[in-house]
Structure 1
Amino acid sequence: MLRSGPILPTLTRLSLPNLIALCSATIVSIAETAYVGRLGVASLGGIALAFPVFMLMQMLSAGAMGGTVSGAISRALGAGDAAAARGLALTALALGVGFGLLLNLIVLTLGPAVFRLMGGHGAVLEEAVTFAHIAAFAIAGIWASNTLASIARGSGTMAVPAVILLVSGLVQVAIGGTLALGLGPAPQLGIAGVAIGQLVAFWGAALALLVYLLSPRSRLRLTFAASLLSAARAREIMRIGWIAMLSPLLSVSTVLVLTSLVAQFGPEALAGYGIGVRLEFLLIPIAFSVGVASVPMVGTAMGAGDVPRARAVAWTAGAMAATALGVLGAVVAVMPWLWVDLFTADPVVRQTAYQYLVIAGIGFPFFGLGLCLYFGSQGAGRVGGAIGAQAIRLGMVVIGGWLLAHAGLPLWSVFALSVSAMIAMGLATALFVKLTRW
């Protein structure tokens, strides 16, 4: 089915299990924002500061390296080399855990300084630091769970990682909400309780995925043998992985710049922007559900030497993601209160979030197109063009933000800059993918 099945039905079939994982991300985002909102404006502002940093961990491990791992494994399987696929799987797991431990240390040491550079101060900064100092220990679990899920997806298995991540999300909500608000006999830990929920959920997901991949039910059974680890396989993964990791780094850098610009308008504006941009981050799992399904289809086609099919899969996936996000963008642009009013009753915070979503909704389909084509490029092992488009987006935000700050323009102009850069990124990605030789 991956190599010769009808493209749209096969892509849809593979995407549907990933929508389960999307449900998990949606539940976690809505629930966390809701109970953090009950903790006050300072907590909302603190989570807005910390959220991009920890979302970066998800994007690096699940999107950048995850797509790279799935693509490498699927190309090996498409070429009929199962032994190479098993070696790539074990090497990828070693790399993932190593990256997780390194980034754990970086967040612990540099996190407070980054939050200050983003404009955090006072109670908002204290809340962000409290969250980060606990959630940092979940980073290696995030990397391990997403790497293991990507190994399974590379073999065409979508349902198992999706179900495990869904259960993990429910666990995160239950533990985080209980400890944050002090429900029942549990102590009220505030924002620290939210971080503990992440810690338990991601390490639990990693353990469950490991058990599955070691079992006979796994299509690509994980084998712990030193002979499967090699520098050549690590280089094969990192040859694309290093470049692919620039994409989420550029994306989150864009959000960090925008967050620092919004922070200049006060804590209420920052809290409102945090609510709005959290919905924007939910667009990533929507595009992810289609994009990650396209990776093994593109990869197996490339491994089998069928480049026209690989390109057809990538363009079909991009169109699917653009359509889905376009519908969502239209809904939130017309009715932003459907999302915003779930989390706050503060009129200033609400108005800021409304304003952001009305403007940002225009760019959602372009964001979906660009992100999904990025995944298709990972399956083909040609990600340079997609990275260039991300760099264009960041450049527009940095230069435009500097001009807006010096001109003293109102908050809505920052939001307009954000959507303009989003549209440019989507169109540039499509152009680069069309021009790049696969």
Structure 2
Amino acid sequence: MTPSPAPLAEIVRLSAPTILVTFVQAAAQTTEAALIGRLGTDALAGYALVLPLLMLMNMTSGGAMGGGVASALARAIGAGRMDEAASLITHAAVIALAMGLLTTGLALSFGPMLYRWVGGTGPALDHALAYSSILFGGAGLIWLANILGAALRGAGRMRLPAIIMTVVWVIEAPLSGFLMLVLGWGLPGAAVAYLIVYGLATVGMLVMIARGGAGFRPRFKAPLRRDLFHRILSVGVVATVMATIANLTVVLMTALVARHGTAAIAAYGVGVRLEFLIIPLGFGIGVALTSLVGRRVGAGDWTAARMTAWRGGLIAGAAAGVIGLTAALFPHPLARFFASDPAVQEAIVLYLRWVGPSFGPFGLGMALYFASQGAGRMRGPFAASVSRMGVAVGGGWLLAAFTTAGLPGAFAAVAGGLVSYGLLMAVSVRPGVWR
């Protein structure tokens, strides 16, 4: 088949399953948080202490290193190298197991220190330690499920991992509630439930892949090759660093906003959650672009790859832009939904008016980031990620230090960071770079 730009209908069709499952996941995790709240404030606080590390693990395994796996597979398939694609499955599994062990070691060694550093003490810290010791002890299952799902998406099989993950997320919250509240296991029950559903997901992914669900049967006995590891890691390592930078940006901005009081912290926390609503949209369209772009790059048609990236990017940018502009024009209903304190409501309104219009460029940038994974071109995305942190954190600090901009200045810096990210991503997807 002669490569050509992916039609809009194909991009939407491939994006829909992943967008759906990410929203199901968000609903399941929200329900689980509500169930944890029944255990008391200390348990909920302990869960909150561990949540950033859990989110980082999922981001790096599914979107970052997973993107490296999807990209390598898509390019191999696009070039017609099916034996190589079959061997890449084994290399992806080895990387998943190695990263799982590394995550376990780092989380169990340095997690307690991190929880204390961010303010965990007393019973809340005890809950955090009990939860994280079980959760990160089984990190390999989470890495395997996410990496194998990425492999299927890289092969263009979006529905299979979406169906498997939708089923396990539907199971997760009720199972968590049963173990925590009915059996009386407390917060460790939530960790056990999480590992059980990811274990089921891992088995499901392995069965599908072994039966040829990726469009070919894997070569598990093929010898390991350095060049195949490099094809995955050249994208995955850079993307993992970028995911870490994104999380660090949120942490540093939280510290900067904290200067303006408790209401400002609460408003920024709500704002970050609203920003995360854009992520399922960008991720869903983006992982489809990783596969579609990777195949065209593998076939040597860079023009079709760029056009495909821009088509998907503009869809994501337009959708995110509508969400952001609506929030900016009508901020008060959202503010009242998330908070009852008038001071917090006022700060949320301020955040939405300043940051909402930047959601469009951010959505565009996210989609183009995943497209860049498919193309194997990661310098632009890395520069965009660093720029976002520099503009948001650096700009916010300068405004706080040398002006009287106050909280609007901090939120303006957040918006500037998102816009700079989108602009640099857009600039990086051009003929001079993608060739």
Equivalent residue, structure 2, for 1:373: 368
Please give the per-residue CA displacement for 1:95-122, whole angstroms capped at 9, x wherever unaligned.
Answer: 0121111012211211232344445556
Equivalent residue, structure 1, for 2:184: 187
Q: Sort the Cα spacing of 1:174 and 1:70 in 2 relative to 1 into closer, same or farther, 3 A.
A: same
| Aligned counterpart in structure 2 of residue 240 of structure 1, from 230, 235, 238 | 235
The TM-score, its normalising length taken from structure 2, stands at 0.88
> How far 1:10 moved relative to its partner?
1.5
Equivalent residue, structure 2, for 1:427: 423
Residue 14 of structure 2 is aligned to residue 14 of structure 1? yes
Residue 212 of structure 2 is aligned to residue 213 of structure 1? no
Residue 27 of structure 2 is aligned to residue 27 of structure 1? yes
Q: Which runs of 5+ in 1 are unaligned?
A: none
CA contact (8 A) 1:386 1:429 kept: yes
For residues 101 and 251 of structure 2, the distance between their equivalents in structure 1, rounded to whole angstroms, comes to 23
Q: Which runs of 5+ in 2 are unaligned?
A: none
Q: Sort the Cα spacing of 1:426 and 1:24 in 2 relative to 1 into closer, same or farther, 3 A.
A: same
> How far 1:399 moved relative to its partner?
2.2
| Aligned counterpart in structure 2 of residue 278 of structure 1, from 273, 276, 298 | 273
Percent sequence identity over aligned pairs: 36
Amino acid at match of 2:183: A
Equivalent residue, structure 1, for 2:384: 389
Equivalent residue, structure 2, for 1:67: 67
Amino acid at match of 1:63: G
For residues 123 and 393 of structure 2, the distance between their equivalents in structure 1, rounded to whole angstroms, comes to 27
For residues 379 and 81 of structure 1, the distance between their equivalents in structure 2, rounded to whole angstroms, comes to 16
CA contact (8 A) 1:138 1:203 kept: no
1:9-408 aligned at under 5 Å gives the runs 9-36=9-36, 46-118=46-118, 128-180=128-180, 182=181, 185-187=182-184, 189=186, 191-225=187-221, 227-262=222-257, 270=265, 273-334=268-329, 355-403=350-398
Amino acid at match of 1:209: M
Q: Which moved more, 1:77-86 or 1:428-437?
A: 428-437
Amino acid at match of 2:168: S
For residues 349 and 196 of structure 1, the distance between their equivalents in structure 2, rounded to whole angstroms, comes to 36
Q: Sort the Cα spacing of 1:134 and 1:214 in 2 relative to 1 into closer, same or farther, 3 A.
A: same
For residues 323 and 219 of structure 2, the distance between their equivalents in structure 1, rounded to whole angstroms, comes to 42
CA contact (8 A) 2:316 2:367 kept: yes
For residues 412 and 37 of structure 1, the distance between their equivalents in structure 2, rounded to whole angstroms, comes to 33
Equivalent residue, structure 1, for 2:412: 416
For 1:245, what is the secondary structure of its paired residue?
A: helix
> How far 1:416 moved relative to its partner?
3.0
For residues 2 and 158 of structure 2, the distance between their equivalents in structure 1, rounded to whole angstroms, comes to 13
CA contact (8 A) 2:71 2:232 kept: no
Residue 428 of structure 2 is aligned to residue 436 of structure 1? no
For residues 193 and 340 of structure 1, the distance between their equivalents in structure 2, rounded to whole angstroms, comes to 33
> How far 1:411 moved relative to its partner?
4.6
For 2:382, what is the secondary structure of its paired residue?
A: helix
For residues 337 and 2 of structure 1, the distance between their equivalents in structure 2, rounded to whole angstroms, comes to 51
For residues 47 and 2 of structure 2, the distance between their equivalents in structure 1, rounded to whole angstroms, comes to 40
> How far 1:23 moved relative to its partner?
2.6
> How far 1:332 moved relative to its partner?
3.5
> How far 1:74 moved relative to its partner?
1.2
The TM-score, its normalising length taken from structure 1, stands at 0.87
Amino acid at match of 1:310: A
Q: Which moved more, 1:25-34 or 1:363-372?
A: 25-34
> How far 1:431 moved relative to its partner?
1.3
For residues 335 and 138 of structure 2, the distance between their equivalents in structure 1, rounded to whole angstroms, comes to 28
For residues 188 and 270 of structure 1, the distance between their equivalents in structure 2, rounded to whole angstroms, comes to 32
Q: Provide the alpha-carbon RMSD of the alignment.
A: 3.0
For residues 40 and 256 of structure 1, the distance between their equivalents in structure 2, rounded to whole angstroms, comes to 25
For residues 177 and 64 of structure 2, the distance between their equivalents in structure 1, rounded to whole angstroms, comes to 30
Please give the per-residue CA displacement for 1:6-53, whole angstroms capped at 9, x wherever unaligned.
Answer: 521211121122222223223124324444556666666555543332
CA contact (8 A) 1:91 1:228 kept: no
Q: Sort the Cα spacing of 1:117 and 1:366 in 2 relative to 1 into closer, same or farther, 3 A.
A: farther
Please give the per-residue CA displacement for 1:338-370, whole angstroms capped at 9, x wherever unaligned.
Answer: 667777766666665555445432221111111
Amino acid at match of 1:428: L
For residues 312 and 394 of structure 1, the distance between their equivalents in structure 2, rounded to whole angstroms, comes to 28
Please give the per-residue CA displacement for 1:134-154, whole angstroms capped at 9, x wherever unaligned.
Answer: 332343222111110111112
> How far 1:378 moved relative to its partner?
0.9
Amino acid at match of 1:416: A
For 1:305, what is the secondary structure of its paired residue?
A: coil
Q: Sort the Cα spacing of 1:272 and 1:132 in 2 relative to 1 into closer, same or farther, 3 A.
A: farther
CA contact (8 A) 2:335 2:346 kept: no
CA contact (8 A) 1:24 1:167 kept: no
Q: Sort the Cα spacing of 1:323 and 1:246 in 2 relative to 1 into closer, same or farther, 3 A.
A: same
Q: Sort the Cα spacing of 1:318 and 1:44 in 2 relative to 1 into closer, same or farther, 3 A.
A: farther
> How far 1:413 moved relative to its partner?
4.0
CA contact (8 A) 1:29 1:278 kept: no
Amino acid at match of 1:378: Q
> How far 1:168 moved relative to its partner?
1.9
